[in-house]
Amino acid sequence: MTETIGERFMRETSYDTEDMAPSDQQKGVPQPPLQAPWDPAHPRLALPAPGAISVPSMDLRAAIERRRSVRSYSDTPVTLEELAWLLWATQGVKRVEPGRTYRNVPSGGARHPFETHLIVRNVANLEPGIWRYTALEHQLVALDLARPGLMDEAVRACAGQQFVAECAALFAWACVPYRVTWRYAERGYRDMHIDAGHVCQNLNLAAQPIGCGVCALLAFGDQAMCDLLGLERAEQWVIYMAAVGKVA
């Protein structure tokens, strides 16, 4: 029986394999940066400090039981404070130590391989366009604010799912694989997919008390989304997405 791509992936990323080469960490190679570089010439927006963000109280059980995929959103904009809360809940940095960050989500070996990109449509006091969240500074960096037909492009990149055009913001988590494989070699490719689930689940739970709905997205064109966000696929690529907006 011919081995499928999925079966080969599981075999070649297994710790049982005899073919797995030592990781670069084991070979003494310096580790990659904790965060991908950003151009300081781009416009930046400091977000409300995490401790200053006010979030309505909600019982954890209620947040878990209310979670569902939401594909219809109201015209009410998400506030900048609410967006800051969602970004902090999903990738916020609580502590930095040499060679690692501790965040609000778990990640194998504290590798945290993701860079958060946003396609913004309806966030109060935030210009529509493509932004990037730089977690170490807890800020937004503008990447492209003058792109006509941006939401139509996003819909096409997301396999024609029309509800994408109605969300307030589209989260796109781009993975920097070497941040993980430096330590775990090929096994790291498993880890980064698992870590993506941690991030999106935090988004789902954090959205409940602020009246937002979330729909996670795996149906998107890999190259199309990298092209839309201006990413070099050899260095990082989008691994998971989610649409967010106020519940209708």
Domains of the chain (ranges; CATH) run 5-32+43-246 (3.40.109.10)
CA distance 59 to 218: 29
Q: Are 153 and 141 in contact (CB under 8 A)?
A: no
In 10 A of CB 150, how many CB atoms? 20
pLDDT for res 153? 97
Residue type, 128: P
**Over the chain (248 residues), what is each successive 10-residue block's mean pLDDT?**
93 79 93 96 96 96 97 98 98 97 97 98 98 98 95 98 98 98 95 97 98 98 97 95 96
Give the number of C-alpha atoms closer than 13 A to the C-alpha of residue 53, restricted to the C-beta side.
Answer: 22
Closest-CA residue to 80 (of 39, 37, 117, 45): 45
Cβ proximity of 11 and 17 under 8 Å:
yes
User: Can you give the pLDDT at residue 1?
Assistant: 80
pTM higher than 0.85 for the full model? yes
| Cβ atoms of residues 46 and 138 within 8 Å | yes
Phi, psi at residue 85, to the nearest 5°? -60, -45
Residue-wise pLDDT tens digits, 145-166 = 989 999 999 999 999 999 999 9
